[in-house]
């Protein structure tokens, strides 16, 4: 038996959902599969679905709906009118770099007197700091405009006022109880803000500020907005979806100098760029600047008009990213060893390992510990906090990643008395504290996890959108699903479940046979499945058996040929679950077909599967037998039970006899 690694949560589907999907398909001329997915994802009326699929600039919200926007615009315009020097104060991650770069372009186009400042991650840490404010005062700065930071800087903004500097805060992080006493605070999440979309990235808030100042949405910078939005894992819904769609279009057709250089240095094909390409190709290289050097290098790349300078900077960022990968690998090994020691100690004491992984080390580069945390989360599926310790001061800077159900921001708020500083979201956060408090910090987090999480929460969940058959996994289906792009957080690529699918073949591929390649289906209709790092499963899978798989469809192009391919997420094989339908079950399905009358073939297998309780592959076999015996008719994408079928025994069907013989042979193999 091969057990699934995750909980498979199949999206529920009702008769009411089916009716809504039919209406959407008719009203918007959509394929039934796309209509069903839209309903499942909450877009179940024509207006919402059309906006999701085709929404553009006309669907941007008024920037002045953001609380504080009017005051922010007024203060910035006053600074420009009085020739005050403005300083953009950003953050060192890809969202902060994007936000800073966007305002550089904006203020440059408005001929403002300005510069920008991003703190050094290792030397200064996150957010506004007093030394940076003192430097601003010395250099004659009259106004600081923060981007992707500032919402928690209560003391620092008060200090700036004492030095004669006003601050306009634009941010998107969770607000604390006390909001800074700034000239203006713009954050869709702050109390009292009625802005209809709360999921903006820092660069999204900066875009809304630019929209207000220019009195138009500046889509010429949509590529920058898409970078920050995707990199910061914001939900690709509402305005974010429009940002990314417009940004991808710009990257494909009118990419700026910096993006062209970044693509060349990283081997990224801009003419086919996707949100996934931004996330795994561009964002790591932009982030590498702030992790191992200084984020200003990335801002310089995104704001230059000189290609020669841009390509040199991009090559440098690519090298930094490779170095970042080496550093991460080294720290991951140390962290895994430290965690294993904790687990061994717990086993020796006959207790469970800590529910929250809290690991720390001297010399751990604080620029990459967030990536280390993500890798340990992926391997252990527990909330993870990785901290780098300053040997001289004993201060720890940490980065955290969490599982579903454990709200990091809420947890850190509950540990407030132990922390010097913290901030972030439900799934990712940062903090600082002294090493003497680490033990108490770990204990408190463990108590919160025990209180908040149920037994199921400790098992990773795979959300399944649709139950599908091999016959439905076609290039046309993939083309239809592409209407839902861009895919990303909040709008993932559809995950499909193939139940009791015949395994035609399996083998391992790649270095050290690390990867698994499956051929699913029977006869000439086969679907390739690729499971990365799943090679160890090959031995437990037997050709001819029935397996369940979950994955995402993609197009495999090789030697000029295109064919569908399934990227495997999870596999389940239970020899005892192999089934062959009884005659009564054939009769039940045939009666269902007669009741349905003339119905579209698209989605029929899944519908009959749900109504009969049989697997998709079993239903597919039955329909093939019915067609061979002329019990049903297929025509122009429709199926209907024959009006007066001739009585014939199931055993006269060659397909039935083949399937039964194969089932019996499989049973012999399984029993042996």
Give the mean pLDDT of 431-460.
94
pLDDT tens readout for residues 609-628: 878 878 777 888 889 899 99
Percent of the chain whose pLDDT exceeds 70: 98
pLDDT category, 345, cuts 50, 70, 90?
Answer: very high
CATH code at 7-17+29-46+462-577: 2.40.50.460
- The mean per-residue pLDDT over the stretch 563-587 comes to 85
> Average model confidence (pLDDT) for the chain?
92
Instruction: Answer whether residue 355 shows pLDDT above 60.
Output: yes
- With 80 as the cut, is the pLDDT of residue 1 above it? no
Output phi, psi for 173, to 5 deg: -75, 165
* Closest C-alpha among 152, 153, 186, 94 to residue 424: 152
Per-residue model confidence (pLDDT) at position 666? 58
- Residue 672: pLDDT over 50: no
CA distance 17 to 209: 39
Mean pLDDT of 54-62: 93
pLDDT at 587 over 50: yes
CA-based nearest residue to 281, from 265, 291, 268: 268
Domain spanning 354-458 has what CATH number? 3.10.310.30
Q: Are 141 and 87 in contact (CB under 8 A)?
A: yes
Instruction: Encode pLDDT of 372-396 as tens digits.
Output: 999 999 999 999 999 999 999 999 9
User: How confident is residue 520, by pLDDT bands cut at 50, 70 and 90?
Assistant: very high
Q: What is the CATH topology of the domain spanning 583-671? A: Arc Repressor Mutant, subunit A (1.10.10)
Give residue 171's pLDDT. Answer: 97
**pLDDT level of residue 522 (50, 70, 90 thresholds):** confident
CA distance 325 to 315: 16
Q: How large is the average pLDDT for residues 223-229?
A: 98
Q: Which two tokens mark 556?
A: 């495999």
Q: What is the mean pLDDT of residues 343-355?
A: 93
* Residue whose structure tokens are 């000439």: 524
CATH fold of 59-320, please?
inorganic pyrophosphatase (n-terminal core) (3.90.1640)
| DSSP-derived secondary structure letter, 228 | H
Q: What is the DSSP letter of 559?
A: T
- 79-94 confidence digits (pLDDT tens): 999 999 999 999 999 9
User: What integer is the mean pLDDT of 507-513?
Assistant: 92
The answer to whether residue 108 scores a pLDDT higher than 80 is yes
Q: What is each CA distance from 524 to 283, 472, 562, in whole angstroms?
A: 41, 14, 16
- The proportion of the chain whose per-residue pLDDT surpasses 90, expressed as a percent, equals 72
Strands of the 599-600 sheet, one edge to the other:
599-600, 638-641, 632-635
Q: Yes or no: say if 478 and 554 are a contact pair by the CB < 8 Å rule.
A: yes
Reported as a single tens digit per residue, the pLDDT across 145-204 is: 999 999 999 999 999 999 999 999 999 998 988 999 999 999 999 999 999 999 999 999
Does 140 score more than 50 pLDDT? yes
Per-domain residue ranges of the chain: 7-17+29-46+462-577, 59-320, 354-458, 583-671
């Amino acid at each position: 038996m091969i057990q699934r690694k995750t909980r498979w949560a199949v999206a529920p589907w009702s008769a009411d959902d089916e009716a809504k999907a039919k209406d959407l398909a008719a009203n918007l001329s959509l394929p039934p599969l796309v209509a069903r997915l839209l309903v499942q994802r909450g877009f179940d009326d024509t207006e919402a679905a059309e906006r999701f699929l085709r929404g553009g600039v006309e669907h941007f919200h008024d920037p002045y709906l953001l609380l504080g926007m009017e005051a922010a615009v007024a203060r910035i315009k006053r600074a420009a009118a009085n020739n005050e020097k403005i300083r953009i104060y950003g953050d060192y991650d890809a969202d902060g770099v994007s936000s800073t770069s966007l305002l550089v372009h904006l203020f440059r186009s408005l001929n403002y007197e300005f510069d920008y400042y991003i703190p050094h991650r290792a030397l200064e840490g996150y957010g506004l700091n007093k030394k940076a404010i003192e430097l601003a005062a010395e250099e004659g700065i009259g106004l600081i405009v923060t981007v992707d930071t500032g919402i928690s800087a209560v003391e620092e903004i008060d200090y700036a006022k004492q030095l004669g500097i006003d601050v306009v805060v634009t941010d998107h992080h969770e607000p604390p109880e006390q909001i800074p006493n700034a000239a203006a605070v713009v954050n869709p999440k702050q109390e009292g803000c009625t802005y209809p979309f709360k999921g903006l990235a820092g660069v999204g808030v900066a875009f809304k500020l630019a929209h207000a100042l220019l009195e138009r949405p500046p889509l010429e910078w949509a590529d920058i907005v898409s970078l920050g939005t995707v990199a910061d894992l914001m939900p690709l819904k509402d305005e974010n979806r429009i940002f990314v769609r417009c940004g991808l279009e710009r990257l494909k057709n009118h990419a700026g100098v910096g993006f062209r250089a970044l693509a060349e240095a990283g081997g990224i094909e801009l003419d086919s760029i996707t949100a996934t390409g931004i996330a795994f190709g561009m964002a790591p290289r932009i982030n590498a600047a702030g992790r191992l050097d200084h984020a200003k290098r990335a801002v310089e790349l995104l704001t230059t008009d000189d290609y020669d300078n841009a390509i040199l900077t991009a090559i440098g960022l690519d090298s930094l990213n490779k170095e970042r990968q080496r550093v991460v690998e080294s720290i991951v090994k140390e962290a895994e060893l430290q965690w294993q020691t904790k687990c061994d100690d717990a086993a020796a004491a006959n207790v469970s390992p800590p529910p929250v992984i809290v690991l720390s080390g001297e010399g751990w580069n604080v620029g990459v510990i967030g990536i280390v945390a993500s890798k340990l989360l992926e391997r252990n599926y527990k909330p993870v906090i990785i901290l780098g310790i300053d040997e001289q001061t004993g201060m720890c800077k940490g980065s955290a990643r969490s599982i579903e159900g454990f709200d990091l921001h809420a947890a850190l708020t509950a540990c407030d008395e132990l922390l010097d500083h913290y901030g972030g979201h439900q799934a990712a956060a940062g903090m600082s504290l002294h090493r003497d408090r680490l033990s108490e910090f770990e204990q408190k987090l463990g108590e919160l996890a025990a209180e908040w999480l149920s037994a199921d929460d400790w098992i990773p969940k795979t959300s399944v959108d649709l139950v599908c058959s091999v016959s439905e996994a076609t290039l046309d289906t993939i083309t239809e699903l592409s209407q839902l792009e861009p895919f990303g957080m909040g709008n993932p690529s559809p995950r499909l479940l193939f139940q009791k699918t015949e395994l035609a073949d399996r083998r391992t591929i790649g270095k050290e046979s690390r990867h698994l390649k499956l051929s699913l289906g029977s006869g000439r209709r086969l679907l390739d499945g690729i499971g990365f790092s799943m090679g160890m499963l090959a031995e437990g899978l037997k050709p001819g058996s029935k397996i369940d798989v979950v994955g995402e469809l993609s197009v495999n192009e090789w030697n000029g040929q295109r064919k569908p391919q399934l990227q495997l997420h999870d596999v389940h094989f239970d020899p005892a679950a192999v089934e062959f339908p009884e005659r009564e079950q054939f009769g039940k399905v045939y009666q269902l077909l007669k009741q349905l009358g003339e119905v579209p073939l698209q989605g029929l297998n899944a519908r009959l599967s749900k109504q009969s309780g049989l697997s998709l592959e079993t239903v597919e076999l039955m329909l093939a037998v019915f067609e061979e015996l002329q019990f049903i008719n297929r025509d122009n994408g429709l199926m209907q039970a024959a009006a007066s079928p001739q009585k014939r025994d199931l055993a006269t069907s060659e397909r039935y006899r083949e399937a039964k013989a194969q089932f019996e042979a499989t049973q012999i193999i399984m029993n042996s």
